[in-house]
Amino acid sequence: MPYAGLIAMVVDDNEFTAELIKKLLLYIGFTEVIVDISPKKALGKIVSRRVDIICCDFQMDEMNGIEFTKRVRFFCSMQDGKGPNAKKYIPIIIITGHAEKDVVVSVLKSGADDVLTKPINPTSLRQHVDTVLKARL
């Protein structure tokens, strides 16, 4: 699936991991990747910047991936037609080192579209991105 023209967002409080995921997304063909190590700041960007897909870490100090997902879903549904993501469904992939069934179930119940287990490589990332974008775009 071609990603030209699409904008991804990476949210991870580990700067090294965030930059690695950014490089992988650019490598597989995304036009632009927005990176934020603060989930709260990332939420602010969602109000003002177009985003086509989000890759978010599960375990962050400021806010975990489940809470972030819930807030994204709320923000996008409540923008009253204002902003680039108003009334838009943004696919969300949660990235985690925890593959336990209860974690995966909790993440999916929160509104995330998929769970990608670390370690990450271009092939697995592309497969997960393809899956959620085909379902939503």
Find the domain containing 100 and state its range.
7-136
- 28 falls within a domain: yes
- 31 falls within a domain: yes
- 120 falls within a domain: yes
Both tokens of 102, joined, read 């209860």
Cβ distance 42 to 137 under 8 Å? no
Q: What is the CATH number of the domain that holds 116?
A: 3.40.50.2300
Number of domains making up the chain: 1
- 124 falls within a domain: yes
- pTM of the entire structure? 0.92
Apex 75 CA angle, 2 and 84, nearest 5:
50
pLDDT of residue 80: 63
> Per-residue confidence of the chain (137 residues) as pLDDT tens digits?
678 899 999 999 999 999 999 999 999 999 999 999 999 999 999 988 999 999 999 999 999 999 999 999 988 887 565 677 767 889 999 999 888 898 899 999 999 999 999 899 999 999 999 999 988 65
- 66 falls within a domain: yes
- 2 falls within a domain: no
- CA dihedral of residues 108, 113, 117, 118 (deg, nearest 10): -130
- 82 falls within a domain: yes
d(CA 50, CA 120): 25
- 1 falls within a domain: no
